[in-house]
């Protein structure tokens, strides 16, 4: 796998428990900074759907 450029939300700053995202071509990789060796892969469509769901409160408990 190519070297990924991981980014985290600016609100996380130097926290050790943050989501991290890397985007390459048509794939979005997601991981937790607590477990960086475990990643999930999404298509761009799946990523957009996930962000839309978060913005619409679909995952609020």
Q: What local confidence, expressed as pLDDT, does residue 1 receive?
A: 58
**Residue in the structure block whose two tokens are 């839309």:** 52
Q: What local confidence, expressed as pLDDT, does residue 11 receive?
A: 86
Question: Across residues 8-25, what is the average pLDDT?
Answer: 88
Q: Looking at the predicted structure, is the pLDDT value of residue 12 above 80?
A: yes
28 exposure class (CB count in 10 Å sphere: 0-12, 13-18, 19+): buried
Q: Looking at the predicted structure, is the pLDDT value of residue 45 above 80?
A: yes
């Amino acid at each position: 796998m190519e070297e990924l450029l991981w980014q985290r939300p600016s609100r996380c700053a130097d926290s050790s428990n943050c989501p991290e995202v890397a985007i390459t071509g048509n794939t979005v990789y997601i991981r937790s900074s607590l477990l960086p060796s475990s990643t999930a892969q999404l298509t761009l469509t799946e990523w957009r759907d996930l962000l839309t769901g978060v913005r619409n409160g679909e995952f609020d408990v």
